[in-house]
A and B are shown apart, each in its own frame.
Chain A
Amino acid sequence: MEPRRFIFRRLIQIFVIFFVILTVLFLLFRLAPGDPISRMIDPDMTTEDAERLREQLGLDEPLWVQYVYYVRNFFTGEFGTSFHYGQPVVKIIWDRLPNTVLLFTSSIILSAFVGVFLGKIASWHKGGKIDSVLTIGALVTHTVFLPWLALILIWVFAYKLAWFPITGMVSEEVWLDPEAGIVAKALDVFHHMALPLCTLFLIHFGAYLLIMRSSMLETLKEDYILTARAKGLEERVIRNRHAAPNAALPVVTSIGLSLAFSINGGALTETVFTWPGIGRELVFSVSHNDYPLAQASFLLIAIVVLLSNLVVDVLYAYLDPRIRY
Chain B
Amino acid sequence: MALLEVDNLSIGYQTRNGTFQAVDGVSFSLESGRSLGFVGESGCGKTTLGLALMGLLPPNGRIRQGSIRFEGEELVGLPEDRMRTIRWRKIAMVFQAAMNALNPVHRVADQVAEAIFTHEPALSREEVNTRVEGLFQLVGVPKDRMRDYPHQYSGGMKQRAVIAMALACRPRLIIADEPTTALDVIVQDQILEETKNLQQQFGISIIFISHDISIVADVCHDIGIMYAGQIVEYGAREEVFETPVHPYTRALLASYPTLNGTISRLKPIPGETPNLISPPPGCRFCDRCPGAGKTCVTARPSWVEISPRHKALCHSCS
**Interfacial residues, chain A to chain B (CB-CB below 8 A):** 222-224, 226-234, 237, 241-242, 245-246, 319-322, 325
Is the Cβ of B151 less than 8 Å from the Cβ of A227?
no
Determine whether B208 belongs to the interface, using a CB cutoff of 8 Å to chain A: no
Is the Cβ of A224 less than 8 Å from the Cβ of B88?
no
B99 CB contacts on chain A under 8 angstroms? 223
**Complex Cα gap A6–B112 (Å):** 31
How far does the Cβ of A319 sit from chain B's closest Cβ, in whole Å? 7
A246 CB contacts on chain B under 8 angstroms? 103-105
Determine whether B56 belongs to the interface, using a CB cutoff of 8 Å to chain A: yes
Determine whether B173 belongs to the interface, using a CB cutoff of 8 Å to chain A: no
**Given A224-B103, A246-B104, A322-B149, CB of A229 within 8 Å of CB of B56:** yes
Is the Cβ of A223 less than 8 Å from the Cβ of B151?
no
Partner of A224, one of B54, B101, B151: B101
Q: Which 7 A-B pairs have the closest CB atoms?
A: A232-B87, A223-B99, A321-B149, A224-B103, A223-B100, A232-B84, A232-B88
The number of A-B residue pairs with CB atoms under 8 Å apart is: 67
Write 9 A-B pairs (CB below 8 A) sorted by A numbering. A227-B101, A232-B86, A232-B87, A241-B106, A242-B103, A242-B106, A320-B105, A321-B105, A322-B149
B104-121 interface mask toward A, CB cutoff 8 Å, 1 = contact, 0 = none?
A: 111000000011001100
**Complex Cα gap A232–B151 (Å):** 24
Partner of A233, one of B86, B102, B118: B118
Is the Cβ of B100 less than 8 Å from the Cβ of A222?
yes
A237 CB contacts on chain B under 8 angstroms? 118
How far does the Cβ of A107 sit from chain B's closest Cβ, in whole Å? 28
B227 CB contacts on chain A under 8 angstroms? none
Instruction: Apart from A227-B103, A233-B114, list 14 A-B contacts with CB within 8 A.
Output: A222-B100, A223-B95, A226-B56, A227-B165, A228-B103, A229-B56, A230-B88, A230-B92, A231-B114, A231-B115, A232-B85, A246-B104, A322-B149, A325-B152
Determine whether B93 belongs to the interface, using a CB cutoff of 8 Å to chain A: yes
B93 CB contacts on chain A under 8 angstroms? 227, 230
How far does the Cβ of B192 sit from chain A's closest Cβ, in whole Å? 21
Is the Cβ of B105 less than 8 Å from the Cβ of A319?
yes
Partner of B101, one of A223, A232, A233, A245: A223
**Complex Cα gap A234–B88 (Å):** 13
Determine whether B46 belongs to the interface, using a CB cutoff of 8 Å to chain A: no
How far does the Cβ of B184 sit from chain A's closest Cβ, in whole Å? 21
**Complex Cα gap A242–B87 (Å):** 17
A231 CB contacts on chain B under 8 angstroms? 87-88, 114-115, 118, 165
Is the Cβ of B95 less than 8 Å from the Cβ of A226?
yes
**Complex Cα gap A233–B165 (Å):** 14
**Complex Cα gap A321–B102 (Å):** 13
Is the Cβ of A230 less than 8 Å from the Cβ of B54?
yes
Is the Cβ of B102 less than 8 Å from the Cβ of A227?
yes
**Complex Cα gap A228–B87 (Å):** 10
How far does the Cβ of B159 sit from chain A's closest Cβ, in whole Å? 13
Is the Cβ of B118 less than 8 Å from the Cβ of A224?
no
> Which residue among A226, A228, A322 has the maximum number of chain B CB atoms within 10 Å of its CB?
A226
Determine whether B89 belongs to the interface, using a CB cutoff of 8 Å to chain A: yes
Partner of B104, one of A224, A233, A325: A224
**Given A230-B56, A231-B118, A232-B119, CB of A321 within 8 Å of CB of B104:** yes
A245 CB contacts on chain B under 8 angstroms? 105
Q: Which of B96-148 contact A (CB under 8 A)?
A: 99-106, 114-115, 118-119
